[in-house]
């Protein structure tokens, strides 16, 4: 297995974080409820505005427009033809109106500074449009055009600014209501976060702290029921562990006596076979107990700073010196906090497995180490027949033995790779298997930095 360098690890990490947040948002009940609330508020606002506009439009056409047209006609008649600017000025002073007169003789405005930019529609409208009785402008018989509008108030909160202020105030009120709704939903669903944290803690084998029951509703009842279930499971696991320890003690004593008695028998083929079977039974009991401790989450790893290269070299010198195992150890690998005993057992099992199934060839197994920005890798490869690709996912299961490549004559009971996978998972890593063609390649992947449970 070749591990290449990681390109742009920061970008990869950011992309992974964004994907995790998006996945969390999609599966978060809180986020979905807030989104539903916002969608409901938006739809209600749109429906209300559409209904209000329709009601005002019909009310304006039926009632307000005729009254407005009659009012504009009366104002125009009061100004007179030709238009009298003194009368127009009196109207502008008496009423909050802005009056603009344009024509061949008189060009006058009650607010001259306002006329330049705000009367564009009135100046550019056609004669027919200006004569529309529903618009606040009239064209006199002598060609003058009179346009009416609301006068500007000489203060900060003018009528033109009020709609803008009202709009911002409405938006701020909606944002405040949204924040209050989020806080309410967050408090309503807070027990779900407590239940999730408790379930993760229970799955890791930590039953020391129950789930907090903050409320007396359905979620509070669910938290209490999960706590009762956790207490029952804790009792069952403790009873199971006690039973296994008792069975281990009871079986090891007669096995030891049987081995001592067998040692007293004269050398012969039956004596050798008996000692082999007794040793296999002893190893089976040891592996079963170790797998049970690792699989149930009750195992306590005795972590200490470990150089994986030094561990491999020491194990090869002590137990595999005569087998000619090839090594390809990276010159510099990071020191990790590992359980040395269990890590040594993992490496020993991998090497035993490689030697057992690679004896048909003259090429010895190879063990190598390497690392990148994310993980440290230990790779063990044999040059045996390998296994079919369809059985690779089951190869690390307990007692699994593919008939095509793992015969009883090769030894073992099918717990070696299973224990290796449990040790890797206990350290937060993974065990990867693939056909190397020829042979089987097993990779231990330990993430950097190695997670240490609190």
pTM: 0.47
Whether 280 contacts 412, CB under 8 Å: no
Per-chain mean pLDDT for the chain: 77
The Cα–Cα gap between 313 and 317 comes to 6
**CATH class for the region spanning 190-299:** mainly alpha
| pLDDT of 246 above 80 | no
430 contact partners, CB below 8 Å, separation of at least 6:
424, 444, 445
252 contact partners, CB below 8 Å, separation of at least 6:
282, 285
Percent of the chain with pLDDT over 90: 5
Lowest mean pLDDT, pick from 44-58, 179-193, 393-407: 393-407
For the chain, which residues make up each domain, given as ranges? 58-152, 153-188, 190-299, 302-447
Q: Rounded to whole angstroms, what are the CA distances from 17 to 6, 28, 262?
A: 17, 16, 61
CATH 3.30.565.10 holds for 302-447: yes
Q: What pLDDT, on the 0 to 100 scale, is given for residue 443?
A: 92
Q: What is the pLDDT of residues 24-74, one digit of tens each?
A: 656 666 677 777 777 877 888 888 888 887 777 776 667 777 888 888 888
Whether 395 contacts 442, CB under 8 Å: no
Q: Across the strands, what pairs with 145? A: 102, 139
pLDDT band at 369 (very low <50, low <70, confident <90, very high): very high
| pLDDT of 359 above 60 | yes
Q: Which residue has the higher pLDDT, 401 or 332?
A: 332
376 contact partners, CB below 8 Å, separation of at least 6:
308, 333, 334, 336, 369, 370, 445, 446, 448
Whether 424 contacts 336, CB under 8 Å: no
Highest mean pLDDT among 188-202, 268-282, 401-415: 188-202
Residue found under tokens 């330049």? 116
Q: What pLDDT, on the 0 to 100 scale, is given for residue 376?
A: 92
Instruction: Give the gyration radius of the chain's Cα atoms.
Output: 43
> Sheet of 440-447: strands edge to edge?
326-329, 366-371, 375-381, 440-447, 430-435
């Amino acid at each position: 297995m070749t591990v290449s360098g990681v390109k742009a690890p920061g970008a990869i990490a950011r992309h992974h974080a964004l994907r995790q947040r998006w996945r969390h948002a999609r599966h978060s009940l809180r986020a979905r409820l807030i989104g539903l609330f916002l969608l409901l508020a938006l739809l209600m606002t749109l429906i209300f505005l559409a209904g209000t506009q329709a009601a005002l439009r019909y009310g304006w056409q039926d009632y307000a427009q005729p009254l407005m047209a009659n009012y504009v006609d009366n104002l125009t008649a009061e100004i007179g033809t030709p238009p009298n600017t003194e009368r127009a000025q009196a109207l502008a002073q008496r009423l909050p109106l802005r009056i603009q007169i344009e024509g061949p003789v008189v060009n006058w405005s009650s607010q001259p500074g306002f006329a330049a930019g705000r009367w564009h529609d009135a100046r550019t409208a056609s004669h027919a449009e200006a004569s529309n009785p529903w618009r606040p402008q009239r064209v006199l018989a002598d060609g003058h055009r009179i346009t009416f509008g609301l006068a500007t108030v000489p203060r900060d909160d003018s009528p033109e600014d009020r709609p803008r202020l009202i709009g911002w105030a409405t938006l701020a009120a909606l944002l405040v209501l949204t924040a209050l709704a989020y806080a309410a939903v967050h408090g309503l669903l807070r027990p779900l976060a407590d239940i999730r944290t408790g379930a993760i803690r229970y799955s890791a084998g930590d039953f020391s702290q129950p789930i907090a029951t903050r409320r007396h509703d359905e979620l509070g009842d669910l938290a209490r029921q999960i706590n009762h279930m956790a207490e029952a499971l804790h009792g069952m696991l403790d009873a199971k562990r006690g039973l296994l320890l008792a069975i281990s003690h009871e079986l090891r004593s007669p096995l030891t006596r049987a081995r001592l008695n067998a040692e007293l028998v004269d050398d012969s083929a039956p004596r050798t076979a008996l000692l082999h079977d007794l040793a296999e039974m002893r190893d089976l009991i040891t592996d079963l107990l170790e797998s049970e401790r690792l699989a149930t989450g009750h195992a306590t790893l005795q972590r200490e700073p470990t150089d994986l290269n030094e561990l491999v070299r020491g194990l090869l010198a002590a137990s595999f010196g005569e087998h000619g195992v090839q090594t390809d150890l990276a010159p510099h690998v990071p020191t990790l906090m590992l359980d040395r005993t269990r890590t040594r057992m993992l490496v020993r099992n991998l090497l035993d497995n490689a030697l057992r199934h690679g004896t048909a060839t003259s090429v010895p197994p190879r063990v190598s180490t390497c690392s990148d920005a994310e993980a440290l890798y230990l790779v063990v490869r044999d040059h045996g027949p390998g296994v079919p690709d369809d059985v690779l996912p089951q190869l690390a299961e307990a007692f699994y033995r593919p008939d095509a490549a793992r015969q009883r004559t090769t030894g073992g009971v099918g717990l070696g790779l299973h224990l290796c996978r449990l040790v890797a998972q206990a350290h937060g890593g993974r065990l990867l298997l693939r056909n190397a063609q020829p042979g089987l390649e097993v990779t231990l992947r330990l993430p950097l930095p190695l997670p240490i449970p609190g």
